[in-house]
Amino acid sequence: MKHIFKKIIIPILVLLGILFLIRFFNFVCFEAKYHTVEKNGKLAIFNQKNQQLTNYVYDEVYESPYVDPKELGNASLLTKFPRYGLTLVRKDKKFAFLNEQFKEVLPFGTYDLIKPMNYYGYSIVRKNNKWGVLDKSLKLVVPLKFDMISQSLEVENYSFIVQKVNKYRILDKKANWTLKIEFDSIKIINDKFYLCYLGNKKYLINDDSKIISDHYSTYDNLDDGFIVKKGKKMGVINFENLIIIPFDYDSIYAPRLCSYFYASKGGQFGVIDLKGEMLIPFEYQGFWESSEKTKDENNKNLIAQKNGKFGTINLKNKVVTPFIYDAISSWIEYGPPAHYIIKNRKWGLISYEGKVLIPTIYDHLHYITNSLIKCKKQGKSGVLDINNKVIVPCENDSLIVDYFFLPRLDKQEYKIVTKQNGSWKFLNLRGKLIKDNVTEAEVKSYVKD
């Protein structure tokens, strides 16, 4: 086995590494041919030897992608000029194309607007409020008769959306109208797909102007496919229109950045994985994401509702927080790994592991830090810490916790300001009295500062 590894595996890995480095340097070393220099708000073009090739006359020198978007995820990192022997420039709100000697080949003012060419060498142009497309020979391959022509802002999408009156077309990356359909409207779903509407029908069309599907009433975008609806049932298809999850569900929802779906059938909710295998049985009334941070997704808890009550479970359907609460928060802003909980209109705090930190006996809680949690009970205000230790008893008619993560500008220490029986006090953040019988003017001055 060691002999095979040394004689076969290692040389293959070395060869692959060399090929990768060659490709990488082909991309990166490309940059050095020409660059721009700014002087007094105008640009000039220079070569590798820093020789000036043009005057300082341009407001912008445009770059175009040199890398096929299918080969490299972020083609915008490899945009250069010239492209196909042409460089697009702008001067005094007018556009021109320069040749490889940086001389005008398409004069300024020929068009009112020219957009940088795509990877395939096609540029959108506008003149007298009509739009067309030039190819790399500067021939008008789409005539100036359209009300708008646009491309997706995504770097991997180079096909064109064309509008004339209230109808839309999709042209492929080389500006050909291969799909002879005019649509009522077009929506860009992602950098590879469009959702096109014609009457009551919806077409899923890829960036090569090919119809992927026209069978479904809804398409919700996923990383590698779509949640789709057929009749009253929902399933999942991939980018090739193959069914990944069958149409067995009344609803399917993809939580953000998660490798599972919430699904429902027969009025009950469960959780399925990306292949449709059941993770949590269909016995709940709903699921909500908890904002827990965990490296292991399997240890992440979900907020769930069952028999009208809320609790939390993990992806193995183990109950972490019992289903006895009327509400559970998904997170606490700048807070600890815990949830607010409400039971019989009373607030408490519970850890992500299901440990009650503060019992549900308060009218309201507001977390500030682990040592400063404002609380209200029977109409009176106080302060607790995260372990339910009383810092300031709930005996105050008014209470201000003056605290932030940065020091006060006036350099004073942060305080707790209380009002009880008409008398104001200053306390430190540990609840110890600093000053009694504080005037209202002092309070206003302190809080204002």
What's the pLDDT at 446? Answer: 83
Q: Inform me whether the pLDDT recorded for 2 exceeds 70.
A: no
The string of pLDDT tens digits covering residues 200-222 is 999 999 888 899 999 999 999 99
Enter the pTM of the model: 0.75
Contact at 8 Å (CB) between 355 and 348? no
pLDDT, mean of residues 310-334:
93
The string of pLDDT tens digits covering residues 167-193 is 999 999 899 999 999 999 999 888 789
Q: Inform me whether the pLDDT recorded for 78 exceeds 90.
A: no
Q: With pLDDT > 90 as the criterion, what percentage of the chain qualifies?
A: 71
Q: Please report, for the chain, the start and end positions of each structural domain, with discontinuous segments joined by +.
A: 1-31, 220-278
User: 296 — phi, psi (to 5°)?
Assistant: -110, 110
CA distances from 161 to 139, 166, 207 (A): 19, 13, 11
What's the pLDDT at 27? Answer: 46
Contact at 8 Å (CB) between 427 and 416? yes
What's the pLDDT at 333? Answer: 81
Our CA angle for 426, 430, 433, nearest 5°, is: 35
The string of pLDDT tens digits covering residues 340-387 is 999 999 999 999 999 999 999 999 999 999 999 999 999 999 999 999
Q: Inform me whether the pLDDT recorded for 30 exceeds 50.
A: no
